[in-house]
Amino acid sequence: MSALVVGYARVSTDEQDLTAQQDALSAMGIEPDRIYVDHGLTGSNLNRPGLRKALAACRAGDTFAVVKLDRLARSVRDAHQIADDLAARGVKLSIGGSVHDPSGTHIRLLLFNVLAMVAEFEGDLIRARTREGMKVAKAKGRLRGKSPNSHPPRKHTWLKLHAAGEHTMYELAELFSVGRSTVYRALERARRNTET
């Protein structure tokens, strides 16, 4: 049986497009039915169905390919864990068309570690910029969350139905397409207002 090349592509949000990664993997000679994907899952999330299927499709002698290491993992530990698992099974790891062997020479191991650290660093930068952007938006009054009075007409109906004992909080949430916590907070506020 001839060795196969199995590809993996990932994007962190459902809005992002996988086309560039899939095209790059196809350019490496990987058949479209051998390219596994994950939509809307970060590299730090180890519970990725596409990754599990891609890793399971690899046999000894095969090559597992990604366009960039950060598509595979966002931490040095996770990258090493996946690479070590592949090496133990006799599967080569190709990053952007260059085959890396984590059990190989010190130079290759050093390069792999540097790539993994860069991927982890990029993830940290993204999280830091997101937190910073949210902090600035909050300071400018643009990030306030939902107003507690976002459903005033419905709230009155919730209170009546709950007071009549006709529906549970879960049923009210389902009936009005809101979260149970929204109904709970409205009922709790109403209870506090009647006590004062």
135 part of a folded domain: no
Considering the domain architecture, whether residues 175 and 111 belong to the same structural domain is answered as no
**Residue with more model confidence, 17 or 126:** 17
Q: Which of 104, 124, 144 is the endpoint of a domain?
A: 124
Considering the domain architecture, whether residues 112 and 170 belong to the same structural domain is answered as no
Find the catalytic residue in 12, 44, 75, 94. 12
Considering the domain architecture, whether residues 120 and 166 belong to the same structural domain is answered as no
For residue 33, which of 56, 5, 13, 14 has the smallest C-alpha distance?
5
Considering the domain architecture, whether residues 113 and 159 belong to the same structural domain is answered as no
Considering the domain architecture, whether residues 23 and 119 belong to the same structural domain is answered as yes
The CATH number of residue 9's host domain is 3.40.50.1390
Range 36-47 average pLDDT: 81
Least confidently predicted of 27-31, 124-128, 151-155, 173-177: 151-155
Considering the domain architecture, whether residues 37 and 117 belong to the same structural domain is answered as yes
Residue 12 a catalytic site member: yes
Q: What is the pLDDT of residue 6?
A: 96
Number of domains comprising the chain: 2
Considering the domain architecture, whether residues 81 and 43 belong to the same structural domain is answered as yes
133 part of a folded domain: no
* Residues spanned by the domain of 32: 5-124
Integer Cα distance of 98 and 83 in angstroms:
14
Q: What is the pLDDT of residue 13?
A: 81
Report the share of the chain in percent with pLDDT over 90. 23
Q: Which of 124, 144, 174 is the endpoint of a domain?
A: 124
